[in-house]
Amino acid sequence: MPRSRNVALIVGSLREGSLNRRAAQVMIGMAPTHLAFDFVPIGDLPLYNEDVEASPPPAWQAFRDRVGPADAVLFVTPEYNRSVPGGLKNAIDVGSRPYGKSVWAGKPAAVATVSPGGIGGFGANHHLRQSLVFLDMPVMQQPEAYFGGAGGWFDKEGALASQATEKVMRTFIEAFARWIERVSED
């Protein structure tokens, strides 16, 4: 049995009822039991401004304190304008500073994009991966997770109603668990 791992879960959508948040909840429900997920909110982070780094806003420090001890990070995000939402980009910037003290460095990561559209957030997925490589995060390459057509996935109670999607999600989250073990240093 693999050792217990803490996974920071970053959802790029700020909406409480977002498809991405629902999909993330479904995936963590399917995850192997040795993974413990922490939904780390990003909506209250003030925009990153290096001028205030000497006395950072409490929300920045709280975010860094939650992501820092995590063993891995799962990003679940929509696509906005062929990229990630501004709030997610800001969270990445907050976590990567001050220089030399990034909370991201070395953490295994995976990216899932969820969209009601047909291409499933392909642009956001690849744009985010590019940033994560720069941040020294080993990003799971396969299976890729572009979940399109998500608008019709959930029933009235919010449960996943698509068995085909459930199978793909389960494959993804189980592969992520194996990825964490493969690239972790301990």
pLDDT at 149: 74
**44-60 tens-digit pLDDT:** 999 999 999 999 999 99
Separation of alpha carbons 146 and 100, rounded Å: 32
- Report helix, strand or coil for 66: helix
13 has a pLDDT exceeding 80: yes
User: Within 13 A of 185's CA, how many CA atoms are on the CB side?
Assistant: 6
**142-162 tens-digit pLDDT:** 999 988 777 787 887 778 887
Rounded to 10 degrees, what is the CA torsion of 42, 45, 47, 51? -140
Q: Count the domains in the chain.
A: 1
In the numeric block, which tokens belong to residue 21? 């948040």
> Looking at residue 156, which CATH number applies to its domain?
3.40.50.360
Q: Which residue range(s) make up the domain with 101?
A: 5-183
Separation of alpha carbons 132 and 138, rounded Å: 8
